[in-house]
Structure 1
């Protein structure tokens, strides 16, 4: 009711003010017709952008790709070539591109774990948040699709809940940290490229992504349907990453850039022909850097 009363009194107040000001104006200028000096309006200050294109520290969470698995030696992590926080000049990681060599060595941290699934991300995020990083990189989801069978893949609802939990965990501890979220790679393309190498297919038999890579040479209808089901699930995971990220003003999704990247044999590990090689890690770093430093988001 108070708001209504104030609105009703405005016209009367305005008329009285105009009369008083008009009379005072006549007395002040003594009837002179000289125009009054107008005060120049000051421009409104520009709002501070939410996204900082030059963060001062980087923490990484995710799976074997971010650990540089099979990029240096067979069935081993090689974090120095990680696309996110690695120090190798062969890769020129995101951290090095943003911070420089010296600062990247002291202001970047890698909490990713080989074999991790999205359900493991909240725990990793809790560790990363304790560093109070200015940027956190996320690459996870491949292991949710790379299961013993299609039926064993992580349901989309569970994947969504785990990712939302991870983001909420970060926000509770480091509310101003920025998030770069990579899409899940196209596992079908990785199978298509890697299956041409006999050594790679032998390594696959050790248990690397059975849902996609099992019976690598089978081309029957059942094998084709199985691989397409894995690819469909990966696309659903990427939809989740995009949607959850879009609700957070300090989050940037790569727009499916990693999913759409056409990995060739040069970008695949020459140990397993599935994980990124050093060259593949460099391409991932390049995609991340372009996304993080884009002025228009």
Structure 2
């Protein structure tokens, strides 16, 4: 982060304060039985079919769509309170970010063969409708990054229950498969919100912005280290871990789905990777790091261990 004079910090905080005030509610069996002969036929058929069934994961997809929330929209990466999809880690065209689409398809095809259906502020309950839109594009690869807003609420009591989170993600996968049964799905883990809190709280202006209402469940009273505040943040972190467990479990049931194994959750974001507008969302550098993680996992010979 470049240094600012105290006069400029005051003007910047005031401007952000006014903008946030005008933007309320802004928004991360098979069957048993049968004869021995039929069993032998089934076994022979499985052996004949196995070469055609593998591998299901294509490391060089020719088109890409993205669903999710503000991170995939590049929110607050270019200017205050605005989406900036050109720097999206998934489908952006910014040369400094080199999005997953650019890395897989090349700069020109990234413009014509990628689609961004993410919506800033979206929670998991809205993912099925995004999936329906993405399925119409028939992409060879679909990226999913969602869940931060399910944990980022005004209080821990309002966080999305884990069972509801699971039900919505399962419904999303069914929605996709109804139209695009062969689309590959790359699922990113939800970032470690506690890590973002511990990094961003070193910036005094950032904490002023947080007090306007960003992710109160984690960021509220950022300097409070009392037992209640510590327990609150720990509750949010445990919920994010539970969400990531759901993402991995549901993805593992789909032969064409690959979960990042917690790579984004484990990534140690620094102040350099955070937005200069809210010290919480990824800035350009953070988007580039997300693109690197995704590219490494999508092009790997197998899923993360």
Question: Structure 1 pair 281/4, CA: closer, same or farther in 2 (3 Å)?
Answer: closer
Question: Structure 1 pair 5/91, CA: closer, same or farther in 2 (3 Å)?
Answer: closer
Provide runs of 4+ in structure 1 moved above 6 Å: none
How far residue 77 of structure 1 moved from its aligned partner, in angstroms, is: 0.7
Listed one character per residue, the Cα deviations across residues 180-210 of structure 1 (whole Å, up to 9, x for unaligned) are 0000000000000000101111111221101
Question: Structure 1 pair 5/86, CA: closer, same or farther in 2 (3 Å)?
Answer: closer
Query: 1:52 pairs with 52, 58, 66, which one?
Result: 58
Listed one character per residue, the Cα deviations across residues 200-237 of structure 1 (whole Å, up to 9, x for unaligned) are 11111221101000111111000000000000000000
Look up the match of 1:98: 104
Query: 1:254 pairs with 257, 260, 265, which one?
Result: 260
Query: 1:86 pairs with 83, 92, 96, which one?
Result: 92
Question: Structure 1 pair 165/199, CA: closer, same or farther in 2 (3 Å)?
Answer: same
Unaligned runs of 5+ in 2: 1-33, 39-49
Q: CA RMSD in A?
A: 1.8
Listed one character per residue, the Cα deviations across residues 18-46 of structure 1 (whole Å, up to 9, x for unaligned) are xxxxxxxxxxxxxxxxxxxxxxxxxx967
Q: Hey, what's the Cα distance between the residues in 1 that align with 2:188 and 2:274?
A: 18
Unaligned runs of 5+ in 1: 7-43
Q: Hey, what's the Cα distance between the residues in 2 that align with 1:276 and 1:4?
A: 59
Give the match's secondary structure for 1:104.
helix
Look up the match of 2:149: 143
Look up the match of 1:127: 133
Query: Do residues 205 (structure 1) and 211 (structure 2) align?
Result: yes
Look up the match of 2:74: 68
Give the match's secondary structure for 1:66.
helix
Q: Hey, what's the Cα distance between the residues in 2 that align with 1:50 and 1:139?
A: 22
Q: Hey, what's the Cα distance between the residues in 2 that align with 1:4 and 1:275?
A: 60
Query: Do residues 237 (structure 1) and 237 (structure 2) align?
Result: no
Structure index of larger Rg: 1
Query: Do residues 177 (structure 1) and 161 (structure 2) align?
Result: no
Instruction: Say how many residue pairs are matched.
Output: 260
Listed one character per residue, the Cα deviations across residues 244-284 of structure 1 (whole Å, up to 9, x for unaligned) are 00000000000000000000001111111110010000000
Alignment of 1:213-292 (within 5 A): 213-292=219-298
Give the match's secondary structure for 1:175.
coil
Q: Hey, what's the Cα distance between the residues in 1 that align with 2:101 and 2:36?
A: 57
Look up the match of 2:11: none
